[in-house]
Structure 1
Amino acid sequence: MKPNKNLAKDSRRDFVKKSAIAATGFFIVPRHVLGGPGFTPPSDKLLIAGIGVGGKGESDIQSFYKSGKAEIAFLCDVDDRRAATSRQRFPKAKYYKDYRELFDKESKNFDAVSISTPDHNHAVQTMAAMQRGKHVYVQKPLTHDIYEARALTEAAKKYKVVTQMGNQGASGDGVRKMKEWYDADIIGEVNEVYVWTNRPVWPQGIPWPERSSPVPSELDWKLWLGTAPYKEYIDGLVPFNWRGWWDYGTGALGDMGCHLIEPPFSVLDLKYPKEVECSVGSVYVDEFQRGYFPESCPPSSHVIMSFEGKDNNKDITLHWMDGGIKPMRPEELGPEETFGDGGNGALLIGSKGKMMCGTYGLNPRLLPTSKTDEVNVPQKYARVEGGMDGHYAQWVEAAIAGYGKKEVSSPFDIAGPLTESLLVANLAIRGYDIEKTRKKENGEEQIYYPGRDIKMIWDAENMEVTNFDEANQFVKRNYPEGFTL
């Protein structure tokens, strides 16, 4: 039988036509078909811009990338040294030094922003991102000032973006287990909480160095200062020791408070404190005189915050201790058992019993600890896939889904009040009157801290201390030109 030439022509014509379509229109084939099981199409990935990409910022963007659902599209850092590793790992990501330039030029080319910069720059960077409709992940503490925390909390709702603070313990199993114990009335009504840390592990309670140093060529010092008042560069301030200076950091409370206070905050559903008082440690500047330095956080402190009790119950008193100060060991804890995790911990004292945990809510235990394995309560709260490590993927997936579609563990409506509470505690620590000084015999001035001698009354609605106005100077800063909230 002879071949049908017309049929052959038609077959060749169809083949050529289909080949051309395949060559020019392959994008209509679903990417998961091409990539196989588990493949995430680029269009379904979150495009992230990282601001502050060294140290913890580097770790954060790595965690987003490891979720398999994110691409690191842009990198931004004021210090080329700190950015070097991230630039090597993400060579396709375009690099900027100024986040404002990044936003102005590239906003259409990314979906979300990861912010891991010093505390004093968190708010302006986060607000600028949200105003452009970008989802944001911000390292703890959320902000440097109380006003900033309230402003970001409200802005997240206004701009309808997915937010998460970097207190990864909020996604851990530990805090959920503690909430289940509490809800099951295992320890009864809680009215007293102790939280402690061995931080600071950086210099605090010291005067600002008198001698400045040359600025490293890789560092843009003015951009690093950002919202802070101008000072000459000093060695050792970056990348970490800025935490001990009020212009940039928020002390041990800002560094560890969001990790350690979060479990009792979540378990007891706390919001804003109504009263705060404190005592602080000091250093000896000579053999006769103890020194207090208003630019620097103290080397240790004990802050007592009072929160409104729920359902007409008694107020809840929360003690914060840093600088190695610890509460008395519970009598139910054996002499060789670890209190908290050793250096840090949280203890909740109830009318029927006690429970404690370590940093991030890890290793929750009822006291005596033998009771932990004896008590079984039903699981009430869903666990985050991956626990603490899942904190990053949780935000990525929620951002891809869109505002209001998926839950996250530490959105700004939770992280905001938590951060505000820590910053209210810092008001008591910082409560000095710059106009009233005491004189030493040699004529040198010493700052007087009357705010540390009283119980400050906090009006959360109006964000002000009602009985010591000098403290309100620290509720909201004035930014230098070029930076705005």
Structure 2
Amino acid sequence: MMEEKKNPTADHSRRNFIKTTALAAAGFMIVPRHVLGGKGFLAPSDRLMVAGVGVGGKGQSNLSNIYKGGKADIAFLCDVDDRRAANSVKNFPAAKYYKDYRQMLDKEAKHIDGVVVSTPDHNHAMIAMAAMQLGKHVYVEKPLTHDIFEARKLTEAAGRYQVVTQMGNQGSSGDGVRQLQDWCDAGLIGKVHTVYCWTDRPSWPQGILWPSATGVVPPELDWDLWLGSAPYKPFIDKLVPFNWRGWWDYGTGAIGDMGCHLVEPPFRILGLDTPIDVQCSVGSIYVDEFKRGYFPDSCPPSSHVIMTFKKTKKTKGDLQIHWMDGGIKPARPEELAANEPFGTNGVLFEGTRGKMMCDVYGANPRLLPLSRNNEVHIKPRAERVTGGVDGHYWDWAEACIAGYGKKQLSSPFEIAGPLTETLLIANLAIRGTDVQVPRSTGNGFDYPGRDIKLIWDKENLRVTNFDEVNQFVKREYRKGWSLGV
């Protein structure tokens, strides 16, 4: 394992604290801000000691938002890239810094209450599982996992280890999705039969070959630790910190990135479970006038996935959700005037009595036609989260302090797990379009996954009618890395 990197600023801060308070200790001491803050701060036993793994970008904002709730101290920081960690190290100078999460958990477990995981998708599950097995509460960025198998195992582990869990789809705590729920529960749009979810993502390269030219690993980055569970490949330029999303070894494409924000409202409001079947078409990149490109390492540039769900109390028969990315959008609702915005990211519910829609995160909910929003007034019934989207972070910290089962959260793994499974089942259909089968006669390959509907067996975690895609349900980890189950 890597040796921990010392943070001079943090060391200086700790020495000053020990000197001014005369509280020397034999081991490492956390210095929560309430000790110096006086009246109005929580007792040490009522504060959550948090460790962040992946602390740049979204990880930085996750930690900052949790800290702003006033009930957590950021005690440890862990990142494989010192450049990405720099702002969090500056913002939380008392936090001890590591590069390898395994070393951090080995050495500091007794000082940690909760772990926030904000790494690339392919390393979410093994970090979260390692923390839960130590009895630590976890907040995991979306999508919960890279693989369907991982999502199922994390969901089971949350109950087995009785830890508080939350996925980072913060819109699930917003007022918007609850307004939509109130309208649906009041019967304003009747029974829902079709939902459309769309996004302008990807905003990173997809539908491309893996570059042949290797890059130079920056000295601040531990490339082997960044790869983690993924197969070893030489470092390439521009993969980090963001373009990994378009490669199947690390990311989950546009639906993995945005699906937890866009599919979540209908999933929650309509009481859905994982889909019973899924089919798709994808955008093509042509290498010449007649031949479609074959890029199995990379997600396609665009896709349209149709997921079918079993009937619930709020749907008219089985429900279809259409997922569209790469700028593809559904037909404009006839109730929407010509110049009224439709949005580049959104959700449209179509029911037997009307329609409603929202933007990403469930924000800006509205009935169609828009004039209905001035005419319809119903009493709010769905319980709101204090602080709305910000409360998504604060609620997790409060629930951790209260203890397992004491406080309801918006996206615990019992909800986030099946939602993530749903999105990854959609990815089976997308990945299936690039499955090659040698032709029985002549040269070349056929692509049978491009023209079929995949039937999903939830209990056995497999597609029953196209076995070639089941290899993507559970991937093999690189030697030396394990999910621990």
For residues 318 and 34 of structure 1, the distance between their equivalents in structure 2, rounded to whole angstroms, comes to: 53
Are positions 1:162 and 2:164 aligned together?
Answer: yes
Q: SS where residue 320 of structure 1 aligns?
A: strand
Are positions 1:356 and 2:357 aligned together?
Answer: yes
Are positions 1:409 and 2:407 aligned together?
Answer: no
Task: Tell me the alpha carbon deviations over residues 182-214 of structure 1, each in whole angstroms, 9 at most, x when there is no partner.
Answer: 111000000100000000000000000011111
Determine the structure 2 residue equivalent to 1:465: 463
Does the Cα contact within 8 Å between 1:75 and 1:95 map onto a contact in 2? yes
CA drift of 1:38 comes to: 3.1
CA drift of 1:283 comes to: 1.2
1:174 to 155, 173, 176: 176
Most deviating of 35-44 and 107-116: 35-44
Which ranges of structure 1 fall in alignment gaps of 5 or more residues? 1-22, 25-30
Q: SS where residue 390 of structure 2 aligns?
A: helix
Map 1:246-395 onto structure 2 (within 5 A).
246-311=248-313, 313-339=316-342, 342-395=343-396
For residues 339 and 362 of structure 2, the distance between their equivalents in structure 1, rounded to whole angstroms, comes to: 21
Does the Cα contact within 8 Å between 1:190 and 1:351 map onto a contact in 2? yes
For residues 331 and 435 of structure 2, the distance between their equivalents in structure 1, rounded to whole angstroms, comes to: 36
For residues 365 and 189 of structure 1, the distance between their equivalents in structure 2, rounded to whole angstroms, comes to: 17
Which ranges of structure 2 fall in alignment gaps of 5 or more residues? 1-21, 24-32
For residues 37 and 105 of structure 1, the distance between their equivalents in structure 2, rounded to whole angstroms, comes to: 33
1:114 to 91, 113, 116: 116
Determine the structure 2 residue equivalent to 1:45: 47
Task: Tell me the alpha carbon deviations over residues 319-371 of structure 1, each in whole angstroms, 9 at most, x when there is no partner.
Answer: 000000000000000111111xx210000000000000000000100000110
Determine the structure 1 residue equivalent to 2:18: none
Does the Cα contact within 8 Å between 2:75 and 2:94 map onto a contact in 1? yes
Q: SS where residue 135 of structure 2 aligns?
A: coil
Does the Cα contact within 8 Å between 2:295 and 2:434 map onto a contact in 1? no
For residues 298 and 116 of structure 1, the distance between their equivalents in structure 2, rounded to whole angstroms, comes to: 24
Q: SS where residue 179 of structure 1 aligns?
A: helix
For residues 251 and 145 of structure 1, the distance between their equivalents in structure 2, rounded to whole angstroms, comes to: 12
1:192 to 191, 194, 197: 194
- The one-letter code matched in structure 1 to 2:478 is P
CA drift of 1:37 comes to: 5.3
Task: Tell me the alpha carbon deviations over residues 289-310 of structure 1, each in whole angstroms, 9 at most, x when there is no partner.
Answer: 3213000000000000000001
For residues 207 and 109 of structure 2, the distance between their equivalents in structure 1, rounded to whole angstroms, comes to: 41
For residues 45 and 462 of structure 1, the distance between their equivalents in structure 2, rounded to whole angstroms, comes to: 41
Q: Over the residues paired in the alignment, what is the CA RMSD in angstroms? A: 2.0
For residues 409 and 435 of structure 2, the distance between their equivalents in structure 1, rounded to whole angstroms, comes to: 42
The structure that has the greater radius of gyration is 1
Determine the structure 2 residue equivalent to 1:423: 424
- The one-letter code matched in structure 2 to 1:318 is I
Return closer, same or farther for 1:281/1:433 CA change in 2, 3 Å cut-off: closer
Identity of aligned residues (%): 67
CA drift of 1:373 comes to: 2.2
Determine the structure 2 residue equivalent to 1:481: 479
Determine the structure 2 residue equivalent to 1:450: 448
Does the Cα contact within 8 Å between 1:432 and 1:471 map onto a contact in 2? no
1:206 to 208, 220, 230: 208
- The one-letter code matched in structure 2 to 1:206 is I
Q: SS where residue 186 of structure 1 aligns?
A: coil
Equivalent residues, number: 451
Q: SS where residue 77 of structure 2 aligns?
A: strand
Q: SS where residue 317 of structure 2 aligns?
A: coil
CA drift of 1:281 comes to: 0.3
Does the Cα contact within 8 Å between 2:50 and 2:76 map onto a contact in 1? yes
CA drift of 1:449 comes to: 3.1
CA drift of 1:279 comes to: 0.2
Q: SS where residue 387 of structure 1 aligns?
A: coil
CA drift of 1:36 comes to: 5.9
For residues 32 and 119 of structure 1, the distance between their equivalents in structure 2, rounded to whole angstroms, comes to: 34
Task: Tell me the alpha carbon deviations over residues 227-266 of structure 1, each in whole angstroms, 9 at most, x when there is no partner.
Answer: 1000000000000000000000000000000001111111
Q: SS where residue 108 of structure 2 aligns?
A: helix
Determine the structure 2 residue equivalent to 1:218: 220
CA drift of 1:284 comes to: 2.3
For residues 224 and 36 of structure 2, the distance between their equivalents in structure 1, rounded to whole angstroms, comes to: 48
Q: SS where residue 389 of structure 2 aligns?
A: helix
CA drift of 1:451 comes to: 1.4
CA drift of 1:434 comes to: 5.2
For residues 434 and 32 of structure 1, the distance between their equivalents in structure 2, rounded to whole angstroms, comes to: 57
- The one-letter code matched in structure 1 to 2:379 is P
Q: SS where residue 158 of structure 2 aligns?
A: helix
CA drift of 1:452 comes to: 2.1
Determine the structure 1 residue equivalent to 2:27: none
Deviant stretches of 4+, over 4 Å: 31-37, 432-435
Does the Cα contact within 8 Å between 1:432 and 1:470 map onto a contact in 2? no
For residues 36 and 383 of structure 2, the distance between their equivalents in structure 1, rounded to whole angstroms, comes to: 34
Are positions 1:241 and 2:250 aligned together?
Answer: no
Return closer, same or farther for 1:86/1:322 CA change in 2, 3 Å cut-off: same
Task: Tell me the alpha carbon deviations over residues 435-476 of structure 1, each in whole angstroms, 9 at most, x when there is no partner.
Answer: 62479x9x9x7x743212100100111111000000100000
For residues 115 and 290 of structure 2, the distance between their equivalents in structure 1, rounded to whole angstroms, comes to: 51
Return closer, same or farther for 1:297/1:437 CA change in 2, 3 Å cut-off: farther
Map 1:430-441 onto structure 2 (within 5 A).
430-431=431-432, 436-437=437-438
For residues 300 and 436 of structure 1, the distance between their equivalents in structure 2, rounded to whole angstroms, comes to: 23
**TM-score w.r.t. length of structure 2:** 0.90
CA drift of 1:313 comes to: 4.5
Does the Cα contact within 8 Å between 2:303 and 2:326 map onto a contact in 1? yes
